[in-house]
Structure formats: structure tokens, C-alpha cells
């Protein structure tokens, strides 16, 4: 990996910047001001960019967070929640959904053409979106996950992240429970990074032809942002002072560029 000091060192080489949110411009509590400053500056200089987040909520919810921390309100956003809602509209209109995680995420199904059911055996598909604090008992979902694993229903996870930084700890997110369901023998369709559909969806929302060689993915998640960018065939910039530093995991791939923190 080539280490750089500032995003401006390489920004001119790219026509479109795709940027992760949590861990890059926001740590769950605090705004990461140097990152926000450089992105706002480049955006005002007409550099095309878009936030691409594994937030399992519509972009309007993510927008409120970005507005609160000072990110330019005209920078577009695509979330995995947006992609999930698109899948529902295209493939599951008029169907029944069993939602694991409804207590902490009602936004994802707001105004969707589906009916939520509390009876798993009346469901046409399952939505898996829970998150849990590090100190909570993650086994409370095991019984229902085992039951879901025994059924032949499509199961969607609209946030492949296994963990997310939150107030100095690692919150367990939907990807954690997707992995747990798979241990019980189930199958999960992941919506979000590193899976290619979120990148394809982002480009449809961008709306202009762009050479993949001119796209840069910026993120702090090696398993999601960086692997997703590599798999999609675009260059990547790894923000080292983020979630991957907390996870301390090893990977058999690497980013083209790296930076301590985005600035």
C-alpha cells in the first residue's frame, strides 16, 4: 500500500469518490473534523463524491447525522437500507415480512408495500437488522435464528458489518447475527459492502458514465469497504485509524492507498 498524507494528494486522479461514513467522518459520537473539512473543500471545488454506507436505514436518516456534524448537505448518500428498500419494491411488493430487529430499526420499512407479520410461518421473507451493545446478551436471538434457519425463506441482512464502533466499544450489528444464523445452517443474502450490488446501485444514482479506473473507494473497514472496492474493480484508500484497527484482523488483500485518518 502507498501511504499518503492527505486526500488531496490523489484526488485529481479520480472522477468520483465513494466514501464510507462511520469511522471516516463520524465515530458514532464525534465528528471527525479533518475528514469533513477536506471533503467539503473538494466538493466545493466540484469534485464528484458520494457517501456509500452500510447503514440499514434510508439515506434520509443518514443525512440527518451528516448534517449535524457539518458535512455539506448536497453530497449524495446511498445506504444499504436504500438498496434493501429497492429490492423489496422490485421483488417483494405485497408480501409479508418477518423483521428481526424491528425494535431498533423501523425506518427501513417505512412506506414499503409490504405487511409486517409477527408470525414467522406467515412470512414470505425475513429481514435481519438488529444491533446490540457489546455488553448485551447476543444469544437472545438464537431461538428465532435457529427457527429461521430451518425454513426455506429468503433472509436479507441490510448491514453486512459484523461490528461498528460506538462509544469506545464494538457494537454487534446485523452482520454478526447473519453469521450466527449461518452457523445454525441458514442462508443469508447480504445487502451492502462488500457485496457488488450496493456499488452498482450507487452508480445508477450517480447517473453519469464513469470509468471504474477513475473511481476511488475510501473507508476504514478492510472486510467491507476495501474488499468491496477491490471486488468491484476500483481503487481503494484505507483509513487506518478506524474499525479495522480495533478488530486487529489479518487479510490476504490490501488497499492501493492508505492514510492514518482522512484529511
* pLDDT at 138 (0 to 100): 82
Residues 88 and 184 placed together within one structural domain of the fold: yes
Q: What's the CA gap between 127 and 26, in Å, rounded?
A: 26
* pLDDT at 48 (0 to 100): 97
In 3D space, the residue among 16, 78, 80, 65 whose CA is nearest the CA of residue 43 turns out to be: 16
* pLDDT at 243 (0 to 100): 59
pTM of the model: 0.91
* pLDDT at 37 (0 to 100): 96
Structural domain that includes position 185? 82-190
* pLDDT at 137 (0 to 100): 85
Going by C-beta distance under 8 Å and a sequence separation of 6 or more, which residues neighbour residue 74? 43
* pLDDT at 23 (0 to 100): 86
Question: Which regions in the chain score pLDDT beneath 50?
Answer: none
Domain count, the chain: 2
Provide the 8-state DSSP code for 49.
E
Longest alpha-carbon distance in the chain: 55
CATH number for the domain harbouring residue 162: 3.40.50.1000
* pLDDT at 12 (0 to 100): 96
Q: What's the CA gap between 90 and 221, in Å, rounded?
A: 29
* pLDDT at 167 (0 to 100): 61
Amino acid at each position: 500500500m502507498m501511504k499518503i498524507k492527505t486526500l488531496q494528494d490523489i484526488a485529481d486522479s479520480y472522477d468520483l469518490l465513494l466514501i464510507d461514513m462511520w469511522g471516516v467522518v463520524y465515530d458514532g459520537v464525534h465528528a471527525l473534523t479533518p475528514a469533513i473539512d477536506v471533503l467539503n473543500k473538494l466538493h466545493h471545488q466540484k469534485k464528484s463524491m458520494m457517501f456509500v454506507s452500510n447503514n440499514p436505514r434510508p439515506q434520509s436518516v443518514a443525512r440527518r447525522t451528516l448534517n449535524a456534524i457539518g458535512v455539506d448537505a448536497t453530497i449524495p448518500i446511498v445506504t444499504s437500507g436504500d438498496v434493501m428498500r429497492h429490492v423489496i419494491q422490485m421483488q417483494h411488493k405485497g408480501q409479508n415480512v418477518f423483521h428481526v430487529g424491528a425494535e431498533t430499526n423501523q425506518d427501513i420499512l417505512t412506506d414499503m408495500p409490504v405487511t409486517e407479520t409477527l408470525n414467522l410461518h406467515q412470512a414470505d421473507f425475513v429481514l435481519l437488522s438488529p444491533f446490540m451493545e457489546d455488553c448485551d446478551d447476543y444469544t437472545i436471538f438464537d431461538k428465532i435464528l435457529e427457527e429461521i434457519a430451518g425454513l426455506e425463506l429468503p433472509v436479507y441482512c441490510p448491514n453486512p458489518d459484523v461490528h461498528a464502533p460506538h462509544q469506545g466499544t464494538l457494537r454487534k450489528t446485523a452482520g454478526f447475527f447473519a453469521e450466527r444464523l449461518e452457523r445454525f445452517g441458514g442462508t443469508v443474502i447480504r445487502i451492502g459492502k462488500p457485496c457488488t450490488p450496493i456499488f452498482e446501485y450507487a452508480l445508477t444514482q450517480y447517473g453519469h458514465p464513469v470509468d471504474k479506473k477513475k473511481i476511488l473507494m475510501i473507508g476504514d473497514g478492510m472486510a467491507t469497504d476495501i474488499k468491496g472496492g477491490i471486488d468491484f474493480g476500483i481503487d481503494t484508500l484505507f483509513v487506518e485509524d478506524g474499525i479495522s484497527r480495533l478488530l486487529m484482523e489479518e487479510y490476504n488483500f490490501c488497499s492501493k492507498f492508505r492514510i492514518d485518518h482522512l484529511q
